[in-house]
């Protein structure tokens, strides 16, 4: 049941991510604001701000809110290049452009445990 929910969320969000890629800017400086519209793909698993993992019984999902932006970008590139092997994250990172990764990195880096802009609250 939960797995099914995640899969349908994933399908929906891959579409959203593809739209994001076609609107990609040439400059790769990350923008937390732009990132906010790109993390819909990640919410189902990483459940953003406030460090909550929604599906702890299904996946061991690392908490990435508040992580360093450069770390997030380098982790995503490593999945995309295949240096990191997790199949789901490889598929997801493969759909992200360098600009998307930069924006997403800034977005997560800006989160704190008491983030007032928590979109899930």
Residues at the site binding ligand HEC, with contacts judged by CB under 6 A: 6, 10, 39, 41-42, 44-46, 59, 61-62, 64, 72, 75-76, 84, 86, 88-89, 92, 104
Going by C-alpha positions, the residue among 78, 65, 53, 63 that lies closest to residue 106 is: 65
**Closest distance between ligand HEC and the C-beta of residue 80, in Å?**
11
CA angle, residues 110, 116, 117, in degrees to nearest 5: 65
Which residue, 60 or 121, has its beta carbon nearer to ligand HEC?
60
**Closest distance between ligand HEC and the C-beta of residue 84, in Å?**
5
Tokens encoding 77: 């590139």
**Closest distance between ligand HEC and the C-beta of residue 57, in Å?**
13
Going by C-alpha positions, the residue among 41, 45, 51, 48 that lies closest to residue 100 is: 41
């Amino acid at each position: 049941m939960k797995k099914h929910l995640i899969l349908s969320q994933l399908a929906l969000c891959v579409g959203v991510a593809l739209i994001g890629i076609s609107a990609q800017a040439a400059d790769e400086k990350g923008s937390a604001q732009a990132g906010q519209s790109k993390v819909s793909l990640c919410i189902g698993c990483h459940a953003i701000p406030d460090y909550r993992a929604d599906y702890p019984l299904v996946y061991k999902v690392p908490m990435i809110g508040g992580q360093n932006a450069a770390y997030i970008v380098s982790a995503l590139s490593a999945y995309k290049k295949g240096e990191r092997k997790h199949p789901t994250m490889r598929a997801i990172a493969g759909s992200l452009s360098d600009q998307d990764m930069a924006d997403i990195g800034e977005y997560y880096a800006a989160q704190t445990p008491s983030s007032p802009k928590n979109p899930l609250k």
